[in-house]
Amino acid sequence: MNGAGDKMVTNGKGTSHGRSRKGGKAGPVATVKFGSATVPIYLSESKGRKRYFVAHYRDGKRIRTAFPDLVAAKKEAQFVAQRIQSGMQHVTDIKPHERDSYVAAMRVLEKSGLPLVAAVEDYMRAREKAGTESLGAMAEEYGRLFKKVVRRSSTAEVVDEMLKQREQDGASKVYLRLLKTTLTRFAAKFPGDLIEVDTHQIDAWLRSLDVALCTRNSMLRCIKIFFSYARSRNYLPEDRKTAVENLKVTKVVTDNSEIFSPETMTRILHHASADLIPILAIGAFSGIRMAELNRLDWSAVDLERRIIELRAGQAKTGSRRVIPITDNLAAWLEPLERKGMVVPSVKAHHRAVSELAASLKIDWPRNVLRHSYISYRIATVKSADQVALESGNSPSIIFKHYRELTTEDEADKWFAIVPKEGQWESLPAIVRKKHRAQSRRRGSK
């Protein structure tokens, strides 16, 4: 025994090959003792390479740790032996009443299969969170609130399920794209269980985004739809408010008085090339949103019936809409070759419109053509309900923002804007010839 008390290291005979055990198996090359604890060290050789293994048991499992040299292996074995002896000393010193408590605790845990230490740790975490409240009462309350939640699912799982269902239900591509864009970002921000996402987190995330206020409102509406779906599918408790119900869409202050005068619109149209006429004329005299116009094809424009049929998949609202073609709009569209998409190249054509306005030194407020049409249309028909139906808006919005922005006389001038003499010189020769023939037929009647 050396100066370290009852610690002892003994080397087996034949360090390189170990002692021979019964049956011819090599024994340990060294043994480390600490008190009554003994830890053997074994040697293994393969292709001239030696490795030393410290072997011991922990929780009924055999543990083997490899080391490149005997010195390192002995240090580990010494540490293990000390731990074993410490554990044995603890068991030796246990008092009778402590032993009874231990046996009783193990009996309680027997059915659960949990280790005693795991159960104690779980209890202490719950105790810290509960404070002075009864854990039993809290568990009962939790069960009452969440008894109808079928399972805890990640945000991404529920998003994927909802998008697939909406697609199966025939939702428009525009609507699906809007949902997917917003909810994919939402799931990436909150990848954990959906039920853990709270109101403050959602509000803070939306406010942190570098987007326009109207875009943020649109994203919030999508998230509200998502949470409503999740609750309907029992991913959230049905008798509690969802995390987004207390979040309100922020009011966007807009100046809808920014409309073009008949004189300004006349100037724009009379300076426009033929390829820009569809964007300008349909926008100004039908009130279609630019995003809807970009998805419109000429098959939806029926000059004989004097209507534009906006299909559900093309409309922002996802509902079919029929828009009347006024006499002056028909005059603008009739000479055009109406095949394919109304706006063949969205970026190029809209850039050309901006360049035209700039060349004429005319400011171009956002949605000015739509705002102008709605303002002049309600001055003509005097019915917010009718204009709302035509423009895909609500009567309350029409009445609140567009009523009395202009006069009936100004509206008459707006809907009297027609092509000027020589307007169609920029059209291909075959189209100009067709247009002149139509004009002669009209003049002979």
pLDDT in tens, 211-255: 888 889 989 999 999 999 999 888 888 777 888 998 988 865 554
Residues 6+ apart with CB under 8 A from 353: 276, 279, 280, 364
- Checking if the pLDDT of 418 tops 90, the result is yes
Q: Which of 6-10, 23-27, 339-343, 373-377 has the lowest mean pLDDT?
A: 6-10
Alpha-carbon distance of 18 to 44, in angstroms, equals: 9
| CA nearest to 424, candidates 438, 411, 413 | 438
User: How much is the average pLDDT of 330-359?
Assistant: 90
Tens digit of each residue's pLDDT (9 = 90 or more) over 142-195: 666 666 655 678 999 999 999 999 999 988 787 888 999 999 999 999 999 998
Q: Which of 55-69, 81-95, 291-305, 375-389 has the lowest mean pLDDT?
A: 81-95
- Checking if the pLDDT of 417 tops 90, the result is yes
User: How would residue 366 be classed by pLDDT, with cut points 50, 70 and 90?
Assistant: confident
- Share of residues in the chain with pLDDT > 70 (%): 78
The token pair at 18 is 């170990």
Could you tell me if 238 and 148 are in contact, meaning their C-beta atoms sit under 8 angstroms apart? yes
The token pair at 24 is 């011819």
Could you tell me if 312 and 319 are in contact, meaning their C-beta atoms sit under 8 angstroms apart? yes
Q: Strands 49-58, 37-46: parallel, antiparallel or unpaired by DSSP?
A: antiparallel
User: How would residue 58 be classed by pLDDT, with cut points 50, 70 and 90?
Assistant: confident
Alpha-carbon distance of 209 to 425, in angstroms, equals: 48
User: How much is the average pLDDT of 55-71?
Assistant: 83
Residue 434 identity (one-letter amino acid): K
Residues 6+ apart with CB under 8 A from 115: 109
The token pair at 283 is 């926008």
7 vs 49, higher pLDDT? 49
User: How would residue 8 be classed by pLDDT, with cut points 50, 70 and 90?
Assistant: very low
Strand partners for 26: 20
230 vs 37, higher pLDDT? 230
pLDDT of residue 263: 95
Residue 322 identity (one-letter amino acid): V
Structural domains in the chain, sorted by start: 7-93 (no CATH), 109-146 (no CATH), 155-232 (1.10.150), 262-444 (1.10.443)
Tokens 């039993």 label which residue? 136
User: How much is the average pLDDT of 334-349?
Assistant: 89
Alpha-carbon distance of 342 to 335, in angstroms, equals: 14
